[in-house]
Copies of this chain bind each other. A is one copy, B any other.
Amino acid sequence: MPSKIPDGETRGWIVPIGGAENKENDRHILEGFVRVSGGAEANIVVIPTASRMHETGPRYEKLFKEIGAAHVTVMDFDTRRDCQEPGRLKRLEQASGIFFTGGNQLRLTTLLGGTPVAKLIRLRNAHGVTVGGTSAGASILSEHMIAFGDEGSAVISGSVRLAPGLGLTNRFIIDQHFRERDRLGRLITALAYNPFAIGIGLDEDTAAFIGPDESVEVQGSGGVTIVDASEVTFSSIGEVSEGQPVCVLGLRLHILVAGATFNLHTRSASAGGLVNSKD
């Protein structure tokens, strides 16, 4: 469960990124992450544990330093015991921004899940620290994580399997590489089980900056698909067998691009700056 936000404090930003964010000529998304982590004062911990590639951590360290963060540390975890080690916990407590790289989200959850590190990250986010991640690092941010799933826009029973994630919030379910791997069907299927949550489908090179006020702002070159199931009048997913199409009535869909916003609390979408962009 998400850590309780202490009285008088505000939750930190949550920044899921759809993967393959631009690291060369237009680094809007990573720059935005540094900005909401304190700008020139930013103290960032990069967790490359989802990735098996040794260069992943150092690459983000270099990027965040180039962008202007004051301190950047790469912190990897090879065992669950690493996730209790006091030195790392102490370093994490100093961070103003925590960033998960891409890779395999089940590697992240099997190593970090239920450890003091996971608990501390939730607690720090509840105290105002920014937590973000890209691809697998985006998926794990929420309480309910898409662990496996099929491609395609069809809503098919059994097309998605959920697992518990890091649990910064249970308000939304994140999917990434969304357009590129055609994942709308599995995201809707995930919501058909329980229409409580809001689905956030992130295209590559696209991020949802989720502020302390639960407002989602889009950055990057792609789209963010918001699936709001709160007005669903009927879902047959409890009754159909695996592989069968699911009946879901009354879904609300918003496709946001940079400039548009969605509020997770009021469930309202706004074209924001886009409306005046023709002037």
12 pairs from A and B in contact (CB 8 Å cutoff)? A153-B183, A153-B185, A179-B185, A233-B271, A234-B275, A236-B257, A245-B257, A246-B257, A247-B256, A248-B254, A250-B269, A251-B252
Interface string of A152-182 (1 = CB under 8 A from B): 1111000000000000000000000011001
Given contacts A246-B255, A247-B257, A251-B252, contact A233 B269 (CB under 8 A): yes
Residues in A223-260 with C-beta less than 8 Å from chain B? 223, 225, 233-234, 236, 239-240, 244-257, 259-260
Residue A274 at the chain B interface, CB threshold 8 Å: yes
Given contacts A155-B223, A257-B236, contact A274 B245 (CB under 8 A): no
- Chain B residues contacting A245 (CB-CB under 8 Å) are 179, 203, 221-223, 255, 257
The reply to whether B255 and A155 form a contact with Cβ atoms under 8 Å apart is yes
- Chain B residues contacting A256 (CB-CB under 8 Å) are 247, 249
Quote the shortest CB–CB distance from A252 to chain B (angstroms). Answer: 6
- Chain B residues contacting A249 (CB-CB under 8 Å) are 254-256, 260, 269-271
Q: For the complex, what is the distance from the CA of A236 to the CA of B257, rounded to whole Å?
A: 9
Residue A90 at the chain B interface, CB threshold 8 Å: no
Closest to A251 in B: B253
Q: For the complex, what is the distance from the CA of A260 to the CA of B254, rounded to whole Å?
A: 24
Residues in A197-236 with C-beta less than 8 Å from chain B? 203, 221-223, 225, 233-234, 236
Which of A179, A249, A275, A278: most chain B CB closer than 10 A?
A: A249
The reply to whether B239 and A278 form a contact with Cβ atoms under 8 Å apart is yes
Closest to A154 in B: B179
Quote the shortest CB–CB distance from A192 to chain B (angstroms). Answer: 9
Residue A92 at the chain B interface, CB threshold 8 Å: no
Quote the shortest CB–CB distance from A208 to chain B (angstroms). Answer: 14
Quote the shortest CB–CB distance from A105 to chain B (angstroms). Answer: 21
The reply to whether A223 and B179 form a contact with Cβ atoms under 8 Å apart is no
Residue A44 at the chain B interface, CB threshold 8 Å: no
Residues in A68-113 with C-beta less than 8 Å from chain B? none
- Chain B residues contacting A34 (CB-CB under 8 Å) are none
Q: For the complex, what is the distance from the CA of A156 to the CA of B121, rounded to whole Å?
A: 37
The reply to whether B277 and A239 form a contact with Cβ atoms under 8 Å apart is yes
Q: For the complex, what is the distance from the CA of A255 to the CA of B232, rounded to whole Å?
A: 11
